[in-house]
Structure 1
Amino acid sequence: MSATAPGVAAVWAADVRPGWLRRHNPLATLAAPLPAMLALVVVHDTRAALVLTAVAALLLVTGAGLGRRGLLALLVAAPLGTLVLGAALGLWVAVPADGPGRVLAQVGPLEYTSAGLAAGLATAVRLTAVAVLALVGGLTSSGPDLARAMQQQLRVPYRVTWTILAAFRFVPRLGHEVAVIRAAHRVRGGDEGPGPVAAVRRWVGWSVPLLAGALRHAERTAYAMDARGFGAHATRTERYRVPWRARDTVLVVAGWSLTAVVLLVP
């Protein structure tokens, strides 16, 4: 188990964050909805998906500290996206065996039926439920806290967790590199106009400097980690601990119990 660095207060920064879910251990917020997510992948139960989606949305609204944009995306964009996705999936999902239902639209040999629409909406609701349940852990925990929790509670070697975390932190870095390369090409008159062919040419032109920048950043990161003795010892100190408290156990038990009740009780 990783120890707290001497002379540093063992106070978890998340204890002062807004939103009560953010003050839970990241492993708890990930584990609580996990059975529901796995069950919805294989269980075709629209009622259960709707109930679990509503519960997850309630948790996010009350405990995730979402801003206006987050609330708008959760309460408005997500339902509208589900309807659009369901309507699109109505053309592709398997029609129930009891019949295709009423024909709503027809283009040549292609028929859009009420049964297909219902099946598409049911599939879209399940996909939305899985996504919203995943947000319970995704929006309420940070990468460093999750890495520390995996080390301290799951005994995952810190060489693994922090290497993965460093790889994830490459993503915003690469986004910044792309922005710099695009600006440099525009200054030099390298913009080849609109259209898909021009877009492919631009990306081909950006790929070489982007790859070179990524390799330089990876090399600098490796040198910095070596200079700080990363991997030289079996354990490492931490600025603070990510505790597992009784409320984390309650959250996990409540999430698993609710999943069992919703899926098993008719």
Structure 2
Amino acid sequence: MSPATASVTRQIADPYAAPPDYGPIRFLHRLNPLSKIAAPLPAMALLLFTRDIATPLIFCVVTLVMLVIGAHLRARTLLVLLVGMPLIVAVMSVSFGIWTDPARVGDSPVLIEAGPVLFTVGAWLVGLATALRLTAIVLLALVGGLTSTGPDLVRSLVQQLRVPYRLGYTALAAFRFVPRFRHELDVIRQAHRVRGISDGRGPIAWVARTAGYVVPLLAGAIRHAERVALAMDSRAFGAHSTRTERYTIAFRARDWVFIAVFWALTALVVML
């Protein structure tokens, strides 16, 4: 999750957050995280059973356009989506096509001949269809992944789907461990450099250094978990059936419209 996405989403949900400094909030960031999960689900299910090229290609194009227009993305992310994805599709289409059963493609024209190996147009089309399906599923998942934050998704599950807050906020506490581990790892590396600890170079030395980080990371995780448990216990976490939220993430009419439009598009693709 990019810092820009987190800042935009927090400004929508949290009135105390500082406003973003790069223009108006785009529409995907204004949607509830659950709507961005529910909307692509029928399309993902459809893509699991399709074997043509047109269906995943339509969803790839629609999702890319939607992400470019409706999301705040960094230049690196845009480059990956607009340049990296087509290159990945091209490589995967050849890779899947090579392993295609020749009996499936019949007497298709030969595209590449390398000794006994024949790569036909039919095999490439079969590989292209598979590559496009995988890419379309990934792009549909990125609609919510690039425009929502983990904490807001947890809050949506608790507020809209009535997931017990004991489970939801325990998962949220675990989610917070990830940046904490990254910070602790940076501190350990800096401490090793200051002390002049070096185990040489090469892959074996890298594995040895990485193994040396395990014990201090585990000790830090235990200390952090103990502090979190004491803080939750002192605040009577779990003692009541409900808890007061600092802010709510509403499920508005625009969320229903977004789901309806996406489902209608999926139904249209099925009919066509």
Aligned to 1:5: none
What amino acid sits opposite 2:38 in the alignment?
Answer: A
Q: Distance in 2 between the 1:100 and 1:41 partners?
A: 27
- 1:207-218 alignment, distance < 5 Å: 207-218=214-225
Q: CA deviation at 1:103?
A: 5.9
2:112 counterpart of 1:104: yes
Contact between 1:40 and 1:49, CA under 8 Å: does it hold in 2?
yes
- 3-state SS of 1:104 partner: strand
Relative to structure 1, the CA distance from residue 150 to residue 188 in structure 2 (aligned partners, 3 Å threshold; closer, same or farther) is: same
Find the partner of 1:88 among 72, 95, 99: 95
Q: CA deviation at 1:113?
A: 4.6
Q: Deviations over 1:58-107 (max 9, x none)?
A: 11111112232222222122222222233333344555613385262537
2:163 counterpart of 1:156: yes
Contact between 2:32 and 2:255, CA under 8 Å: does it hold in 1?
yes
- Tell me the number of residue pairs that the alignment of Structure 1 and Structure 2 aligns: 254
Relative to structure 1, the CA distance from residue 91 to residue 23 in structure 2 (aligned partners, 3 Å threshold; closer, same or farther) is: same
Q: CA deviation at 1:192?
A: 2.4
| Structure 2 residue runs without a partner (length 5+) | 1-11
- 3-state SS of 2:186 partner: helix
Aligned to 1:13: 14
Contact between 1:104 and 1:113, CA under 8 Å: does it hold in 2?
yes
Q: CA deviation at 1:46?
A: 2.1
| Structure 1 residue runs without a partner (length 5+) | 1-10
Q: Distance in 1 between the 2:95 and 2:199 partners?
A: 35
Q: Distance in 2 between the 1:118 and 1:46 partners?
A: 8
Q: Distance in 1 between the 2:121 and 2:199 partners?
A: 47
Q: Distance in 1 between the 2:107 and 2:174 partners?
A: 48
Aligned to 1:66: 73
- 3-state SS of 1:44 partner: coil
Find the partner of 1:234 among 226, 233, 241: 241
Relative to structure 1, the CA distance from residue 148 to residue 192 in structure 2 (aligned partners, 3 Å threshold; closer, same or farther) is: same
Aligned to 1:7: none
Q: CA deviation at 1:187?
A: 2.9
Q: CA deviation at 1:111?
A: 5.5
Q: CA deviation at 1:237?
A: 0.6
What amino acid sits opposite 1:234 in the alignment?
Answer: S
Contact between 1:100 and 1:116, CA under 8 Å: does it hold in 2?
no
Contact between 2:60 and 2:135, CA under 8 Å: does it hold in 1?
yes
Q: Distance in 2 between the 1:202 and 1:128 partners?
A: 36
What amino acid sits opposite 1:257 in the alignment?
Answer: A
What amino acid sits opposite 1:85 in the alignment?
Answer: M
Q: CA deviation at 1:182?
A: 2.2
Q: CA deviation at 1:134?
A: 0.7
Larger RCO: 1 or 2 (CA < 8 Å, sep 6+): 1
Relative to structure 1, the CA distance from residue 204 to residue 238 in structure 2 (aligned partners, 3 Å threshold; closer, same or farther) is: same
CA RMSD of aligned residues (A): 2.5
Q: Distance in 2 between the 1:93 and 1:196 partners?
A: 36
Contact between 1:96 and 1:115, CA under 8 Å: does it hold in 2?
no
Relative to structure 1, the CA distance from residue 218 to residue 105 in structure 2 (aligned partners, 3 Å threshold; closer, same or farther) is: farther
- 1:1-266 alignment, distance < 5 Å: 12-13=13-14, 18-95=25-102, 97-99=104-106, 101=108, 102=110, 104-106=112-114, 112-262=119-269, 264-266=270-272
Relative to structure 1, the CA distance from residue 250 to residue 196 in structure 2 (aligned partners, 3 Å threshold; closer, same or farther) is: same
Q: Following TM superposition, where does structure 1 have runs of at least 4 consecutive aligned residues deviating by more than 6 angstroms? A: 14-17
Q: CA deviation at 1:132?
A: 0.8
Q: Distance in 2 between the 1:192 and 1:114 partners?
A: 52
Q: Distance in 2 between the 1:12 and 1:186 partners?
A: 41
The normalised TM-score by structure 1 is: 0.85
Q: Deviations over 1:45-67 (max 9, x none)?
A: 32111101111111111111223
Q: CA deviation at 1:118?
A: 2.9
